[in-house]
Amino acid sequence: MSREENYILEMNNITKLFPGVKANDNVNFSVKKGEIHALVGENGAGKTTLMKVLYGLYDKDNGEIFYNGEKVNLKGPQDAIDLGIGMVHQHFMLVDPLTVTENIVLGNEPRSGIILNQKKAKDKVKEISEKYGLYVDPEAEIRDISVGMQQRAEIIKTLYRGAELLIFDEPTAVLTPQEIDELFEIFKSLKEQGKTIVFITHKLQEVKAISDRITVLRNGKSVDTVDTEDVTEEDVAELMVGRQVLLEVEKTKANPGKKIFEVNNLKVSDNRDIPAVRGVSLTVRKGEILGIAGVEGNGQTELVEALTGIRKIESGKVKVRDKDITKFDAREIKRESVAHIPEDRQKRGLIMDFNLQENVILGYHDLEPFSRNGIMKYNNIADYTQKLIDEFDIRGGGMEAKAKNLSGGNQQKLIVAREFSQDPEFLIASQPTRGVDVGSIEFIHKQIIERRDNGAGVLLLSADLSEVLSLSDRIAVIFEGEIVDVLDASETDERELGKLMTGSTIDAGGEDSGK
Amino acid sequence: MLEVKIVENRWDHIKSMMTNFGISLLSIVVALIFGIFFILLTDQSPVTAYQALYHGAFGSFSNILNTLWRSTPLILTGLAFALPFRAGLINIGAEGQLLMGGFAAGVAGYVFTSLPGFIHLPLAILIGMLAGALWGGLPGLLKAKFGSNEVITTIMLNHIAIALTINYGINKLRTSSRMATPEIEPSAALLRFKEIPKHPIWGKLPFADIFTNPGIRLHMNFVLAIIAAIILWYILFKTTLGYEMRAVGFNSDGAEYGGIKPGKSMFITMFLGGAVAGLAGAGEALGTHLSFMSGMDAGYGFTGIAVALIGQTHPIGVIFGGLLFGALNQGGLEMQFAGVPSEIVNIIQALVIFFVASLQILKMYLRKRKEKEGVE
The pLDDT tens digits for A30-42 are 999 999 999 998 7
Residue B43 contacts A where some CB pair is shorter than 8 Å: no
Residue B257 contacts A where some CB pair is shorter than 8 Å: yes
Contact B254 A340 (CB under 8 A): no
Radius of gyration of chain B (CA): 22
Q: How far is A237 from chain B (nearest CA, A)?
A: 30
Tell whether B370 is covered by a domain: no
Nearest-CA residue of chain B relative to A404? B250
Q: How far, in Å, CA of B72 to CA of B74, rounded?
A: 5
Nearest CA among A464, A466, A489 for reference residue A476 = A489
Nearest-CA residue of chain A relative to B238? A376
Q: What is the pLDDT of residue A5?
A: 60
* pLDDT single digits (tens) A220-239: 899 999 999 999 888 888 88
For helices B221-238 and B61-86, give the axis angle rounded to 10 degrees. 30
Q: How far is B223 from chain A (nearest CA, A)?
A: 25
Contact A375 B240 (CB under 8 A): yes
Contact assessment for residue A291 and residue A476, using Cβ atoms and an 8 Å cutoff: yes
Instruction: List CB contacts of A450: < 8 A, sequence separation 6 or more.
Output: none
Residue B244 contacts A where some CB pair is shorter than 8 Å: yes
Q: How far is CA A282 from CA A302, A311, A485, in A?
A: 15, 18, 11
Q: How far is CA B56 from CA A7, A94, B329, B333, B334, in A?
A: 72, 53, 9, 7, 5
Q: What percent of chain B has pLDDT over 90?
A: 61
Residue B14 contacts A where some CB pair is shorter than 8 Å: no
Contact B239 A358 (CB under 8 A): no
Q: Do domains A7-241 and A256-337+425-515 have the same CATH topology?
A: yes
Phi-psi region of A412 (alpha: psi -120 to 50; beta: other; left: phi over 0): alpha
* pLDDT single digits (tens) A50-101: 998 999 888 888 999 999 989 998 888 889 999 999 999 877 888 888 899 9
Contact B239 A374 (CB under 8 A): yes
Q: What is the pLDDT of residue B153?
A: 96
Nearest-CA residue of chain B relative to A397? B5
Domain that holds residue B197: 73-298
Contact B258 A58 (CB under 8 A): no
Mean pLDDT calculated for residue range A363-377: 93
Q: How far, in Å, CA of A182 to CA of B347, rounded?
A: 59
Q: How far is CA B373 from CA A11, A46, A58, B76, B368, in A?
A: 18, 16, 7, 42, 9
Q: What is the pLDDT of residue A513?
A: 41
For the beta sheet containing A275-285, the strands, ordered from the edge strand earlier in sequence to the opposite edge, are A275-285, A259-269, A315-320, A323-324
Contact A376 B240 (CB under 8 A): yes
Fold of A256-337+425-515: Rossmann fold (3.40.50)
Nearest-CA residue of chain B relative to A16? B374
Q: How far is B7 from chain A (nearest CA, A)?
A: 11
**CB < 8 Å to B372, chain A:** 57-59
Q: Is the dihedral of CA B66, B68, B73, B77 positive or negative?
A: positive
**CB < 8 Å to B4, chain A:** none
A-B C-beta contacts closer than 8 Å: 97
Q: How far, in Å, CA of B255 to CA of A413, rounded?
A: 19
Q: What is the pLDDT of residue B13?
A: 67
Tell whether B335 is covered by a domain: no
* pLDDT single digits (tens) A152-174: 999 999 999 899 999 998 888 77
DSSP string for residues in B258-279? TT--HHHHHHHHHHHHHHHHHH
Residue A512 has pLDDT above 70, yes or no: no
Mean pLDDT calculated for residue range A194-221: 89
Q: Report residue B30 CA to chain centroid gap.
A: 23
First to last CA, chain B: 24
When divided into structural domains, chain B yields a total of 1
Of the ranges A160-164, A203-207, B179-183, B324-328, which one carries the lowest mean pLDDT score?
A: A203-207
- Name residues 184-243 of chain B within 8 A of A (Cβ): 238-241, 243
* pLDDT single digits (tens) A262-306: 999 999 998 888 899 999 999 999 999 999 998 778 899 999 999
pLDDT tier at A458 (50, 70, 90 boundaries)? very high
Residue A455 has pLDDT above 70, yes or no: yes
**CB < 8 Å to B6, chain A:** 398, 400
Q: How far is A83 from chain B (nearest CA, A)?
A: 21
- Please report, for chain A, the start and end positions of each structural domain, with discontinuous segments joined by +: 7-241, 256-337+425-515, 353-422
Q: How far is B257 from chain A (nearest CA, A)?
A: 6
Residue A424 has pLDDT above 90, yes or no: yes
Q: What percent of chain A has pLDDT over 90?
A: 50
Q: How far is B256 from chain A (nearest CA, A)?
A: 7
Q: How far is B250 from chain A (nearest CA, A)?
A: 7
Q: How far is B10 from chain A (nearest CA, A)?
A: 9
Q: What is the pLDDT of residue B5?
A: 47
Q: What is the pLDDT of residue B372?
A: 62
The chain A residues in contact with chain B (CB within 8 A) are 16-19, 23, 57-59, 61, 308-310, 329-332, 334, 340, 342, 347-354, 358, 362-363, 365-366, 371, 374-376, 378, 386, 398, 400-401
pLDDT tier at B172 (50, 70, 90 boundaries)? very high
Contact B253 A348 (CB under 8 A): yes
Which residue of B247, B371, B374 is in closest CB contact with A351? Answer: B247
Nearest-CA residue of chain A relative to B258? A363
Which residue of B240, B259, B375 is in closest CB contact with A334? Answer: B259
Tell whether B144 is covered by a domain: yes
Residue A511 has pLDDT above 70, yes or no: no
Tell whether B136 is covered by a domain: yes
Q: What is the pLDDT of residue A204?
A: 83
DSSP string for residues in B30-68? HHHHHHHHHHHHTT--HHHHHHHHHHHHHSSHHHHHHHH
**CB < 8 Å to B9, chain A:** 398, 400-401
Contact assessment for residue A481 and residue A277, using Cβ atoms and an 8 Å cutoff: yes
Mean pLDDT calculated for residue range B41-66: 91
Q: Which of B240, B244, B265, B312 to mutate to test the interface with A (most CBs of A within 10 A)?
A: B240
Contact A376 B243 (CB under 8 A): yes
**CB < 8 Å to B5, chain A:** 398
Q: Is the dihedral of CA A431, A434, A436, A438 positive or negative?
A: positive
**CB < 8 Å to B246, chain A:** 351, 354
Which residue of A17, A334, A366 is in closest CB contact with B376? Answer: A17
**CB < 8 Å to B2, chain A:** 386
pLDDT tier at B104 (50, 70, 90 boundaries)? very high
- When the pLDDT of each residue in chain A is averaged and rounded to a whole number, the result is 88
State the CATH architecture for A7-241: 3-Layer(aba) Sandwich (3.40)
Q: How far, in Å, CA of B155 to CA of A12, rounded?
A: 60
Q: What is the pLDDT of residue B12?
A: 67
Contact A23 B374 (CB under 8 A): yes
Q: How far is B19 from chain A (nearest CA, A)?
A: 18
CB-based burial, A378-400: b 16+ in 10 Å, e otherwise: eeebbebbbebbeebebebbbbb
Q: Is the dihedral of CA B226, B230, B236, B241 positive or negative?
A: negative
Contact A348 B373 (CB under 8 A): no
Q: What is the pLDDT of residue B246?
A: 96
Helix, strand or coil, per DSSP, at residue A427: strand
Q: What is the pLDDT of residue B159?
A: 96
Residue B201 has pLDDT above 90, yes or no: no
First to last CA, chain A: 64
Q: How far is CA A311 from CA A294, A296, B135, in A?
A: 20, 18, 31
